[in-house]
Amino acid sequence: MSVSQSNRVHVPIILILLASGTPVSAQGDSEDRIGLPRDPQTPVIELFTSSGRADSRRPDRMLVVTADGTVAVAAGNGVARQSSARLSRDELLDLLSDLISTHRILQCRSDQLLQEAERAGRAAGLDWKFPKATTTIIRIRLSGGVHEVRCTAAELLAERFPDAESVQNFNGALLRLQNLIAVTQIGGAAEAQRLCDIANSELRVTGDRRNGVTARDIQSVRENRQGLRLVQFHLSQDDNGDSPNALISVVESQDSPAQVTITPLPRRER
């Protein structure tokens, strides 16, 4: 992935669901079955967010990926510049395969997500309605049509209801797109690998036996006007549960070396 930068943005990861657009039939992960639009400028993947405030304007488009692999990330959340990149055709098809095959985004429907969250909430005695939370919209446009799905407080719902399959799929697709945003913001694969090396060096010092983090584990990027940058990774617990989930924060600036903080997160029930 080649990258040019004119700004970085942190996309909120709190969301819930609403309507759906024209459905697209599920397709496989090969180029022929995915069916990219012929026009290279056609938006293939779009990510929007909309505040739950009563005075909220139309949804803000935070990410767009076109059929030729161009990635554009919007400014926002205290980050002053936009970011852009270019995916190769294989990288674009791999991204679509993750969304379609792994996270089954084309099978997610807004009404289905809401019903699933309600059932899980009633069964667990937990709230599933968060009207003031941010709504996230994922839109996929392929040669067969357009599929749009909305979810409010998706990350919160996914954490609260781990057995809600459609909610987990939507949140997984969202996290995949947030990772693309973050890697674009920091400057692409080479810079992502440099930051991974810094984080993994600290993990080795602590004696952590896991394989470490990769660029896919980058969750978010924040910068301020003074040039301070915070990059956060999510490290999943190991298979036997001996090492818990952890949040790895790498903070660096032009005037000081990187500082790494590893924060254990609550263990996932097995």
| Residue 26: predicted pLDDT | 40
| 34 C-beta neighbours (distance < 10 Å), count | 20
Two structure tokens written together for 30: 């090969």
Number of H helices, E strands in the chain: 6, 11
- Phi, psi values for residue 85, rounded to 5°: -155, 175
pLDDT given for residue 71 in this prediction: 96
Task: Indicate the SS3 state at residue 187.
Answer: coil
Helix (H) or strand (E) holding 183: helix 165-186
- Highest-confidence range of 12-21, 172-181, 207-216, by mean pLDDT? 172-181
Mean pLDDT over the full length of the chain? 84
Evaluate if residue 3 carries a pLDDT over 70: no
| 148-187 per-position pLDDT tens digit | 999 999 999 999 999 999 999 999 999 999 999 999 999 9
* pTM attached to this predicted model: 0.83
Residue 166: enclosing H or E segment and its boundaries?
A: helix 165-186
Q: Report yes or no: 131 and 179 within 8 Å, Cβ to Cβ.
A: no
Round to whole Å and give the CA distance between 233 and 5: 21
Tell me the CA end-to-end span of the chain in Å, nearest whole number: 36
- Asked if 250 and 259 count as a contact pair (C-beta separation under 8 A), the reply is yes
Q: Which residue has the tokens 């969750």?
A: 219
pLDDT in tens, 110-142: 999 999 999 999 999 999 999 889 999 999 999
In this prediction, residue 52 carries a pLDDT of: 67
Residues ≥6 apart with Cβ < 8 Å to 240: none
Report the distance separating Cα 168 and Cα 268, nearest Å: 15
Which DSSP symbol is given to 104?
Answer: -
DSSP 8-state class, residue 79:
B
Position 54 scores a pLDDT of: 53
- The residue ranges of every structural domain in the chain are 2-186, 189-264
The pair of structure tokens assigned to 232 is 């956060």
Identify each DSSP E strand in the chain by its residue range: 2-6, 43-50, 60-66, 70-73, 82-86, 135-142, 145-152, 218-223, 229-235, 246-253, 256-264
103 has pLDDT over 50: yes
**Which structure tokens are listed for 28?**
């496989």
- Determine the Cα–Cα distance for residues 34 and 20; give it in Å rounded to an integer: 20
For residue range 25-80, what is the model confidence (pLDDT) as tens digits?
Answer: 444 444 456 899 999 999 999 999 987 665 556 788 999 999 999 999 998 654 66
pLDDT at position 240 = 55
